[in-house]
């Protein structure tokens, strides 16, 4: 518009020029994530990705979408927005890798009441960092200004990922059998689940702030709560090359108890030995100060295990060694047991005490 001329849309709270400036600002950040197959740059109406090359004989596309929940509120309280994008990528990518899929490309949706260029740029930098960790291209997204829908300063995120896998290499749990071993991979902390309960305990009941230093954590409460979700795709895809992985479970909301049954075939249940891994200080803190029962802890949080790998008992020891060599902290946490036809048993038995 000409100088001095009023823009009614800007008066209503939507600044088109600022949105265009945001796109220009993030172009180099996004371009750094591109991988072979990306056909378009940022700013088009659709992101294009070519499968081609004959690399896959019978490819299956695997997709997932997710967000980061009320962890966004912690980012706002801390005024730190450059890692929440890693969480967004992790929650999506970890869901496709459990099928054995290689992440190909990622798209994001950023919605806010009014666009803050610095905040939005930091968010996208985090998304790009997550994409680089997972070797996934950030090929597009949407930024929506919706004044009246969100309070000033608030924003919401959603992510979308597409991966690829050979049909005969898909991991679906169907080959799991009694006697197989469960390997748990250490989480980095809370990841992106249970934050509504965390906020109730820490802020409403304990009256803490994100600046409160907690000795057990060795940092402030805000720093602990913002630890990015661990991305497991590269180590797991490397493991799959050398070992027969029968099942993978991303431990999100519902914890070990509600997530492991999603891959168990009929006649199988999982027995988990809780003392077999290190429970991080944040979980003990929440359990003690929030007076959360052991069972609820096991169903709400990951309790230190962010991913479960199910392999044949004969390969478990070697698989653990390779995971350690790949930079993970793996623990042998349990085994697959038979379901008894004579008595009711939970599909996942955890010594929660």
C-alpha span between 219 and 212 (Å, rounded): 9
- Per-residue confidence band for 218, with pLDDT thresholds at 50, 70 and 90: very high
**Domain holding 319: CATH number?**
3.90.650.10
- Which is nearest to 347 in space by CA: 278, 283, 285, 256? 256
Q: Please indicate, yes or no, whether residues 118 and 211 belong to a single structural domain of this protein.
A: no
Positive or negative: CA dihedral 182, 260, 107, 75: negative
From 48-57, 171-180, 194-203, the region with the lowest mean pLDDT: 48-57
Read off φ and ψ for residue 157, nearest 5 degrees: -130, 145
- Which is nearest to 328 in space by CA: 167, 117, 186? 186
pLDDT score recorded for residue 174: 95
Q: Please indicate, yes or no, whether residues 187 and 136 belong to a single structural domain of this protein.
A: no
Domain end, chosen from 169, 192, 214, is at: 169
- Per-residue confidence band for 316, with pLDDT thresholds at 50, 70 and 90: very high
- Residue 259 placed within a domain: yes
Task: Count the domains in the chain.
Answer: 2
- Per-residue confidence band for 51, with pLDDT thresholds at 50, 70 and 90: confident
Domain end, chosen from 144, 169, 194, is at: 169
- Per-residue confidence band for 26, with pLDDT thresholds at 50, 70 and 90: low
Q: Please indicate, yes or no, whether residues 150 and 196 belong to a single structural domain of this protein.
A: no
- Residue 174 placed within a domain: no
Average pLDDT over residues 84-111: 97
Q: Please indicate, yes or no, whether residues 156 and 185 belong to a single structural domain of this protein.
A: no
pLDDT score recorded for residue 9: 53
Identify the domain containing residue 89 by its residue range: 8-169
- Residue 2 placed within a domain: no
Residue 37's Cβ-side half-sphere holds a number of Cα atoms within 13 Å equal to 21
Average pLDDT over residues 132-155: 92
Average pLDDT over residues 277-299: 95
Q: Please indicate, yes or no, whether residues 146 and 14 belong to a single structural domain of this protein.
A: yes
pLDDT score recorded for residue 12: 55
Average pLDDT over residues 170-194: 97
> For the whole model, what pTM was predicted?
0.91
Q: Please indicate, yes or no, whether residues 324 and 284 belong to a single structural domain of this protein.
A: yes
Q: Is the pLDDT of residue 232 over 90?
A: yes
Q: Please indicate, yes or no, whether residues 143 and 229 belong to a single structural domain of this protein.
A: no
- Residue 187 placed within a domain: yes
**Domain holding 81: CATH number?**
3.30.1330.10
Q: Please indicate, yes or no, whether residues 221 and 162 belong to a single structural domain of this protein.
A: no
pLDDT score recorded for residue 25: 75
Instruction: Give the pairing type, strands 155-166 and 305-311.
Output: unpaired
- Residue 136 placed within a domain: yes
Q: Please indicate, yes or no, whether residues 227 and 313 belong to a single structural domain of this protein.
A: yes
When the pLDDT of each residue in the chain is averaged and rounded to a whole number, the result is 91
pLDDT score recorded for residue 170: 96
Average pLDDT over residues 160-164: 96
Helix axes 233-242, 84-97, angle to 10 degrees: 20
CA 93 to chain centre: 7
Q: Is the pLDDT of residue 11 over 60?
A: no
C-alpha span between 112 and 285 (Å, rounded): 33
pLDDT score recorded for residue 5: 62
C-alpha span between 38 and 49 (Å, rounded): 5
C-alpha span between 149 and 156 (Å, rounded): 11
Average pLDDT over residues 171-192: 97
- Which is nearest to 99 in space by CA: 319, 206, 250, 268? 250
- Which is nearest to 98 in space by CA: 256, 248, 308? 248
% of the chain at pLDDT higher than 70: 91
Six-digit token pair at 74? Answer: 């912690």
- Residue 3 placed within a domain: no
C-alpha span between 97 and 95 (Å, rounded): 6
Q: Please indicate, yes or no, whether residues 151 and 233 belong to a single structural domain of this protein.
A: no
């Amino acid at each position: 518009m000409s100088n001095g001329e009023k823009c009614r849309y800007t008066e209503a709270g939507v600044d088109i020029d600022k949105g265009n400036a945001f796109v220009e600002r993030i172009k180099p950040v996004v371009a750094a994530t591109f991988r072979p197959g990306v056909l378009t740059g940022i700013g088009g109406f659709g992101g294009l990705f070519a499968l081609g090359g004959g690399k896959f004989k019978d490819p299956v596309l695997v997709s997932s979408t997710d967000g980061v929940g009320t962890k966004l509120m912690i980012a706002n309280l801390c005024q730190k927005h450059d890692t929440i994008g890693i969480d967004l990528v992790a929650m999506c990518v970890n869901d496709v890798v459990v099928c054995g899929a290689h992440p190909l490309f990622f798209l994001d949706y950023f919605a806010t009441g009014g666009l803050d260029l610095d905040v939005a740029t930091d968010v996208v930098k985090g998304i790009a960092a997550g994409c680089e960790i997972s070797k996934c291209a950030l090929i597009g997204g949407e930024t929506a200004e919706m004044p009246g829908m969100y309070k000033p300063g608030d924003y919401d995120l959603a992510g979308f990922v597409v991966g690829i896998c050979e049909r005969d290499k898909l991991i679906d749990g169907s080959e799991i059998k009694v006697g197989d071993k469960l390997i748990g991979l250490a989480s980095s902390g809370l990841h992106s689940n249970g934050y509504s309960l965390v906020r109730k305990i820490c802020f409403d009941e304990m009256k803490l702030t994100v600046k409160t230093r907690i000795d057990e954590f060795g940092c402030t409460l805000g720093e602990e709560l913002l630890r990015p979700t661990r991305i497991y795709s590269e180590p797991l895809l490397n493991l799959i090359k050398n070992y027969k992985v029968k099942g993978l479970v991303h431990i999100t909301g519902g914890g070990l108890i509600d997530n492991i049954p999603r891959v168990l075939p009929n006649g199988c249940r999982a027995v988990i030995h809780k003392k077999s891994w290190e429970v991080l200080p944040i979980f003990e803190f929440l359990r003690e100060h929030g007076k959360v029962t052991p069972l609820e802890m096991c169903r709400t949080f990951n309790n230190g295990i962010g991913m479960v790998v199910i392999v044949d008992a004969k390969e478990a020891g070697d698989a653990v060694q390779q995971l350690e060599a790949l930079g993970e902290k793996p623990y042998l946490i349990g085994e697959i047991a038979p379901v008894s036809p004579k008595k009711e048993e939970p599909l996942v038995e955890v010594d929660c005490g």
